[in-house]
Amino acid sequence: MRKNIFILLIIGMFILLIGCDKGTTLKNTLSANTNNTIPKADNSKVTTSTAKIGDYSPFEKNIKYMYAGDGNEYATYSVFVDYLIGNREQIRVTNGGTETIKILENKDGELRLISSKNEIYYRENFTFEINNSPELLLKQPLTKGTSWTLKDGSKRSITNVKVIIKTPLANYECIEVTTVGKESTVKDYYAKNIGLVKTLYTNNVEVSSSLSKMEKKGPFVQTVKFYYPNGTDGMNYITDKKLSFYTNDITKKIFENYLREVPNKNVGKLISPNTKIKSLYLNKDNMVYLDFSKEFTQEMNASSAYESQILQCITNTLGDYYMVKKVYITVDGRPYSSNHISMKKGEAFIVNYKNSIVLTQ
């Protein structure tokens, strides 16, 4: 599976707090970046004693941050905001070896890490999760000397408020937050109206990640395998599609749109134009739950063999995406039932790649 123990160690050290507010400074910064010029740091006269968490860890939709790494191949990564709900932000960290989901919360003068989930390659909203003892990443007042202790005994404190940090994108005046553990030291640097611009991890080796690029108003793009039936030869044909997700996009709606598309005339449709996906999620039992509207069966008009092919292709598509073996398909909340196929309550369709080949255009 796509994981690396050392990756998780490094990612655990890199607390990624990014985003941006709607202030004039950021607007100018991103505009300049779009024109291939280096944005300047915000040198506002607002003192750190009056600054708020949101000044140095602002949240905004549809901004992608890229960090250049040094000292380890997995120190290079990108960050995208999957969901922004109220005072919580769900970010996706991708480093080429794994994808990690982090839930951040700005509340009561604290920036909190609510949860961190490794190897999450699908989109699902986790911002509702509860954690009564979250990790504190940043704490007001944003002045030198503010300190706190983490659950593992590590000491975290603001050790500087006006340190100049050079990154591949620009030079920034930053707040420096230092975390001292038993065997390592981590320094995180936050710039006003930008967020995290650099992380420096020191143990026996030194590993750093520095902000190298920002992209505004762009989507997170995933390559997803779709399976389509051919009723003539009985084969299921595989093709890759690039799915674009913007912050707060509903995953079931994106899949609904793409399931309607047919790559060419040699394969059949998976769902009719009127079919809706009423719900789609990965349950704790490691099974995908998919509920269609009644039009799915009413408008299918297929033989028994071809209906089985359609169901197999949908099962394979979603099984691949969520990396599971079972998909529980219902129609209007009831177990799947048609003139040819009748499933029992709780009975799932099984991923099966037999008779599957790559579609050639």
The token pair at 284 is 């704790």
191 and 252 both lie in a single domain: no
- CA–chain centroid gap for 261, Å, is 25
26 and 49 both lie in a single domain: yes
72 and 147 both lie in a single domain: yes
211 and 224 both lie in a single domain: no
138 and 183 both lie in a single domain: yes
> Which residue among 160, 194, 216 closes a domain?
216
Q: Output the pLDDT for position 59.
A: 96
Percent of the chain whose pLDDT exceeds 70? 86
160 and 309 both lie in a single domain: no
**Gap between the Cα atoms of 255 and 318, Å rounded:** 9
177 and 131 both lie in a single domain: yes
DSSP secondary structure of 252-320: HHHHHHHHH--SSTTS--SS-TT--EEEEEE-TTS-EEEEE-THHHHTT---HHHHHHHHHHHHHHHHH
> Which residue among 196, 216, 236 closes a domain?
216
Can you give the CATH number for the domain in which 18 is found? Answer: 2.40.360
Q: Which residues contact 259 (CB under 8 A, 6 or more apart)?
A: 226, 270, 271, 277, 314, 317
* Least confident among 5-9, 152-156, 267-271: 5-9
235 and 301 both lie in a single domain: yes
Domain that holds residue 352: 220-358
The token pair at 314 is 């949908």
Q: Kindly tell me the burial class for residue 342, based on how many C-beta atoms sit within 10 Å of its own C-beta (0-12, 13-18, 19 or more).
A: exposed
pLDDT tens by residue, 234-250: 999 999 999 999 999 99
Query: 69 and 76 in contact (C-beta within 8 Å)?
Result: yes
Count of structural domains, the chain: 2
Q: Is the peptide bond before 141 cis (omega within 30 degrees of 0)?
A: yes
Range 107-125 average pLDDT: 97
**What is the helix (H) or strand (E) element at residue 63, kind and residue range?**
strand 63-70
**Gap between the Cα atoms of 30 and 60, Å rounded:** 13
Rounded to 5 degrees, what are φ and ψ at 346? 85, -5
- Given the structure tokens 């992608």, which residue do they identify? 64
**Gap between the Cα atoms of 141 and 52, Å rounded:** 8
pLDDT tens by residue, 185-203: 999 999 999 999 999 999 9
Q: Output the pLDDT for position 227.
A: 98
Q: Quick check: 25 pLDDT over 70?
A: no
208 and 146 both lie in a single domain: yes
| DSSP β-ladder status, 356-358 and 236-245 | parallel
Mean pLDDT of all residues belonging to the chain: 89
Percent of the chain whose pLDDT exceeds 90? 84
pLDDT band at 50 (very low <50, low <70, confident <90, very high): confident
107 and 236 both lie in a single domain: no
| DSSP β-ladder status, 326-331 and 288-292 | parallel
239 and 209 both lie in a single domain: no
> Which residue among 159, 187, 216 closes a domain?
216
40 and 88 both lie in a single domain: yes
Q: Output the pLDDT for position 139.
A: 96
Range 268-290 average pLDDT: 97
